[in-house]
Structure 1
Amino acid sequence: MLHRRWLILAVLFAARTVIAYQFQSVAAASFALLQDGVLDFAGLGLLIGCHMLPGIALALPGGVLAHRFGGKPIVLAGLGLMALGGVMMTSLSTGALFAGRIVSGAGAALLNVVLTRMVTDWFVGREMVAAFGIFVASWPLGIAIALVTLPALALAQGWASVALASALASVAALILVQAFYTDPPTATPIHAPRQTTIGATVPAREYGLAAAAGLIWGLYNVSLVIFVSAAPDIFLANGYRVDTAGLITSILGWVLVMVLPAGGLIAQRVGRPTAFSVASLVMIAGAALALALTSQTIASLLILAVIFGLPAGLLLSLPGELLSAEARSSGMGVFYLSFYLAMTGLPVVAGILREATDTPSSPILFGAGTALLAALGMLLIGRYRTRTTP
């Protein structure tokens, strides 16, 4: 059983990596869409954000669907939607691009809600911190793989090959989950009686705190999305080739894969979670400013990558620290709803700024601002945190 759980984690890790890979496909090969005149920068930002749009509708009911039908069928359905959306996006029609992005985003939203619960079911107890430290690294890994592979693919074969690659990756993950995932012996039965989690006994303040935590997590992730989406533009402006710019930007993802598992352990040793989170977020903003405003772009990107992984575990642990046991199920839905709202709208603002200023550094500066807002949010809700996650 011990070896089985790590195999399960590897399968779930692969599924979440594919989400990031498909999400980053638009930004990684954005030049193909811009050069063909299909989209402008504002439209590109909207297309990136559309991947998160279905999460607004699915964050709350996603857990209910998994409770009713079981986690594995929902994951398989989500990966199927991601594959379908990727195929739809092989067309250069604007309508097909946006429709496919929304379909694949719906599949990703189902996965995001359910995969976390699956990891929890298998690793409840002392190994959970280590498991989640590994699991969260799947996102930057998927982004890094996309940045390394997709620009060259788009240069050689065009946009359709990029969209098809993301669809095939989704199919491969679907096969892995179908072949290897099983529920742990202690998992809640699929047809267990549904419990009511929203009631008058839960203070409204807890849902407000959950929404604030989701916004902070969203601001943090928006800054990452902006950095990896806009950094190639910075390097292109400095004379690098398209494929080289993507390769250099992938440093951010590769370093995060190593830093994220260690970040939570470092934070635990420090013992002051709010101060550690705020300091890390402020340093992230500083490194982003250096990337945008100085000539030391590669060094700034490397420093940004090292710092960025430090607060992730603390930020993702916020719901468990802010919500009581009776509010946790419904509160997590509120948390993800707030997260998806931020992830949908803010990349559009970054795209509008890029279009209005015609300056490659403007989205990076906006990303620095979102990191600072996350730091402010941590200061405001820090006093509500518990010392340990229940």
Structure 2
Amino acid sequence: MSSSTPPETVQSGVSAAEQRAVVSLASLYALRMLGLFMVLPVMMIEGQKLDGATPQLLGLAMGVYGLTQALLQIPAGTLSDRFGRKPIIIGGLLIFALGSLIAASADSVYGVILGRALQGGGAIASAIMALVTDLTREENRMKAMASIGASIGLSFSVALVLGPWLAGMGGLSLIFGLTGVLALLGILVTLFIIPTPPALPHRDASAVLSEVGIQLRNTQLWPLNLGIFLLHALMVAIFIAIPGQLLKLDLPAEHHSWLYLPVLLSAFVLMVPFIIIAEKRRKMKSVVIIGASVIAISLFGMSAASEMWHWVVLMLLYFWGFNLMEASLPSWLSKIAPAGAKGSAMGIYSSMQFLGAFAGGSLGGWLMSQYGSSALFVGLGALVILWALLMTQSSAPQHLTSVRLDSADGCSEQQLAQLMALAGVSEVSLLASEGAIYLKVSADAFDRTQALAIIHSTGEEHGSQR
């Protein structure tokens, strides 16, 4: 058995090969996101030393990576299907490292903007997620995705703590220089630690251009797409204002880390029981609306905050709500994405996420420069309230998961009907060009053995565990 593919003989538990793959991919994702996030808490302070710096241009420098990332996210995933995951990931990391070098050596805000745009041009998120699908079996894939998600959350928290500390030692140049080093370390991880599987067609892993057009017209998905757009717009926009407000309260920039650290840890602890309620008790819609409401309250409070303890409490509320939504929205989308279309739906979702970061930086910087921080916070809070009202009109998601079964010899209408009649199956889609059948199922009720027996009767020997 090759170490580059997950062992098919392991029927339960996470194999050693899968553990290695997940840990290495999570580390790769974390290294890259750490580099993107470290400048958020310091750009508006340290960036004032750059030639030509204005609040609007510094906001653009914070968020411009999102524009290039959004534009290249789906194409990069498609190219990884054709040329392999690792070449696309390595190429993206080289572009990311080049952008970091340009930003580190820049004396003007325009050089930093160019460097940040190139950082976003290293769009490897979709290729990494496709590689997760290639290297893990279906029954372990949700655990793998959760590990990747946890690595993103951890990298965000670490970045907010490390950013001010590193800026105190060497300014933006040190942060961007370290970011470039992290990208090069990511290349080594990709070459020597991550297993190399054959690229497999899998519509739950990567976007299909023809399917993207269909899912762009899927009105069920747009409340979630708008939600992640707004959430990441907020993530960038609030850091246009918060660092300056903390300076006014005589908290030196190099000490901001000591405020962020306990706030982020506490927010994470508060989030966990609500995520359990959302998933186990199937209260995801309620939890998402609670998260949005908490964010809105915190933003309105920030518009009038005048004491340090105000900011501690309000940021705790904000990051609590942020974490709830960041964890819940992609889970909701995966539950309602049509069979065989999750990769395309997630591609659109991810693109909207990065577009939100761009909008938050560019528009937030403009709003801050024109009307001040209070108007920025009130405007953001009002947008969150409007989105929460939209979500109240959305149906709560059924708790479904995707299953892919190999069907190289095809499947008759009768067999498809039999699959549809199985307990727990809500949707069946045959992709003859891929030699696969995709199902949306309730994991508690679905019996894979019965499904495989039906497919076996058409000549298929086994179902894919990928």
TM-score, length of structure 1 as denominator length: 0.85
Cα drift, residue 261 of structure 1:
6.5
- Once the two structures are superposed, the pairs formed by residues 39-78 of structure 1 within 5 Å of their partners are 39-78=53-92
Alignment correspondent of 1:86 = 100
Tell me how far apart the structure 2 counterparts of residues 262 and 123 of structure 1 sit (CA, whole Å). 27
Corresponding position of 2:114: 99
Structure 1 counterpart of 2:441: none
Distance 1:189 1:204 in 2: 21
Superimposed CA distance per residue, residues 80-107 of structure 1 (whole angstroms, 9 cap, x where no aligned partner)? 1111110011211333222211111111
**What amino acid sits opposite 1:117 in the alignment?**
A
Measured on the aligned residues, the alpha-carbon RMSD in Å equals 3.1
Find the residue that maps to 2:38 and give its secondary structure.
helix
Counterpart in the other structure of 1:282: 293
Alignment of 1:217-228 (within 5 A): 217-228=228-239
Amino acid at match of 1:104: Q
Verify the 8 A CA contact 2:63 2:236 in the aligned structure 1.
Answer: no
Q: Is contact 2:237–2:360 with CA below 8 Å preserved after alignment?
A: no
Q: Which has the higher strand share?
A: 2
Code of the aligned partner of 2:116: R
Take 1:83 and 1:89, find their aligned partners in 2: how far apart are those partners? 10
CA distance in 2, matches of 1:265, 1:132: 16
> Relative to 1, partners in 2 of residues 1:200 and 1:354: Cα closer, same or farther, differing over 3 Å?
closer
CA distance, structure 2, for counterparts of residue 122 and residue 263 of structure 1: 30
Question: 1:228 Cα shift?
Answer: 4.6
Measure the CA separation in 1 of the matches of 2:182 and 2:232: 23
Q: Is this contact kept in 1: 2:267–2:316, CA < 8 A? A: no
Instruction: Tell me whether 1:137 sits opposite 2:116 in the alignment.
Output: no
Out of 225, 229, 253, the residue aligned to residue 242 of structure 1 is 253
**1:180 offset after TM fit, Å?**
0.7
Q: How far is 1:259 from its partner?
A: 6.2
Query: Residue 5 of structure 1 contacts residue 123 of structure 1 at CA under 8 Å; is this kept in 2?
Result: yes
The 8 Å contact of residues 62 and 236 in structure 2, kept in 1 or not, is answered as no
Residues in 2 aligned to 1:55 and 1:115: alpha-carbon distance in whole angstroms? 14
Query: How many Å separate the matches in 2 of 1:228 and 1:325?
Result: 38
Distance 1:246 1:357, change over 3 A: farther
Give, in angstroms, the shift of residue 156 of structure 1.
Answer: 3.0
- State the secondary structure of the residue aligned to 1:386: coil
1:7 is aligned to 20
Q: Which of 173, 179, 188 lines up with 2:186 in the alignment?
A: 173
Match of 1:19 in 2: 32
Cα gap change, 1:179/1:315 in structure 2, threshold over 3 Å: closer, same or farther?
A: same
CA distance in 2: counterparts of 1:330 and 1:189, whole angstroms: 13
Matches within 5 A, 1:266-277: 266-277=277-288
Q: Distance in 2 between matches of 1:262 and 1:115?
A: 29
Higher helix share: 1
Match of 2:400, SS? Answer: coil
Does structure 2 retain, via aligned residues, the 8 Å contact 1:320–1:328? yes
Q: 1:195 to 1:243 in 2, by over 3 A?
A: closer
The answer to whether the aligner puts 1:233 opposite 2:244 as a matched pair is yes
In the other structure, the counterpart of 2:370 is: 356
Contact (CA 8 Å) 1:350, 1:366: kept in 2 or not?
A: no
- State the SS of the aligned residue for 2:200: coil
| Alpha-carbon spacing, 1:237–1:55, altered in 2? closer, same or farther (3 Å) | same
Higher relative contact order (CA 8 A, sep 6+): 1
1:376 equivalenced with 2:389 (yes/no): yes
Deviation at 1:248, TM superposition (A): 1.3
Q: CA deviation at 1:151?
A: 2.5
**Equivalent position amino acid for 1:245 in 2:** H
Cα distance in 2 for partners of 1:184, 1:47 equals 37
Consecutive unaligned residues of structure 1, counting only runs of 5 or more, are: none
Alpha-carbon distance between aligned partners in 2 of 1:136 and 1:302, rounded to the nearest angstrom: 20
* Partners of 1:272 and 1:262 in 2: CA distance: 12
Distance in structure 2 (CA, Å) of the matches to 1:124 and 1:16: 20
Match of 2:169 in 1: 156
Amino acid at match of 1:350: G
Deviation at 1:252, TM superposition (A): 4.8
TM-score with structure 2 length normalisation? 0.72
Structure 1, 21-30 or 274-283: larger mean CA deviation? 21-30
Structure 2 CA distance, aligned partners of 1:323 and 1:300?
34
8 Å Cα contact 1:219/1:371 also seen in 2: yes
- Compute the displacement of 1:213 (Å): 2.6
SS of the equivalent of 2:401 reads coil
CA deviation profile, 1:349-387 (whole Å, cap 9, x unmatched) = 21112212333x44444443443344234234x228434
- Stretches of structure 2 that go unaligned for 5 or more consecutive residues are 1-5, 7-14, 403-466
The superposition leaves residues 19-53 of structure 1 with CA deviations (integer Å, 9 ceiling, x where unpaired) of: 32222233233212113454111111111121111
Quick check: 1:49–1:348 contact (8 Å CA) kept in 2? yes
Give me the whole-angstrom Cα distance separating, in 1, the residues matched to 2:49 and 2:212. Answer: 55
Cα distance change on mapping 1:318 and 1:55 into 2, 3 Å: farther
Give the C-alpha shift of residue 237 in structure 1: 1.9
Q: Distance in 2 between matches of 1:201 and 1:64?
A: 14
